[in-house]
Structure 1
Amino acid sequence: MITIIISALSLAFIGASLRQIFHSLEFEHKIFSIQLFVSIMLLYTIVMVGFGIIYAALIIQGIDVYYEEIPFKYDYWMSEVIRSIYFSGVTLFTVGYGDIIPVGVGKWIAIVEAMIGYTLPAALVAKVWLKHKSER
């Protein structure tokens, strides 16, 4: 039950962040600004940490999300959260080092996260370009 609550809160926070960045672009008068850059970096951080928390919550509940080739000794829950955020970052930025592989339900969550990682830059560029074109 706690996993569902944590996952729902993380997804709600990610959704609110995505909505906010696209809403704030409507009021931006320049093509690029430091504020926009920081906002995008913050958005990626929120998505990465949010999915990392979802992965960690599932793993702590005993649900397999990813597999590591090198066995890892479970010390405490914070180490699981840190490792899950790393896996989330590798998935979001589609780097795929190969040291951690998604399994089970983690494959489907990783697909959703990778889709966000792929489409977010294109959507942001299209939004800024259309806004700049309409202002001309």
Structure 2
Amino acid sequence: MAYGSLRGVSVETPGSTFTSVPFSIVGPLSPTITVSATGNELVVGESGIYQITISINAEATTDPDPDEPYLDAIITNNGAPIFGDTTTFFKIANRSSSSFVVQATLAAGDTIGASISTDFPVLGYMNRSLTIVQLSH
């Protein structure tokens, strides 16, 4: 079974367009999962069905916003939204943590990462993780 994970702890403040979520810590990796050259994606070594989990903690803003600011995050495959469009994003509310789990068929060489954006420039994020586990061939 293939598996791998990445984590990041720095505070990041995304812009209004989707940008790659940075990771800085490599977790356990099976021999068929590697880390991309940028260090921000996991590279699948063999085709199969995988479970992909992204978890992100929104950094609390100094003053709660009555409009309840949020971050939009999306799992990516080869730099594009995993399900083909950006309407598949999930929202992470201010002062909260969210996880998003999908199952997808991946091909050998696919790079799995995450992208994030927000329309609230004061809202950032920290303490995040990306994990993939192969479920079948």
Same fold, TM-score > 0.5, yes or no: no
Q: Which has the higher helix share?
A: 1
Q: Which has the higher strand share?
A: 2
TM-score in terms of structure 2 length: 0.24
Larger relative contact order, structure 1 or 2 (CA cutoff 8 Å, min sep 6): 2
TM-score in terms of structure 1 length: 0.25
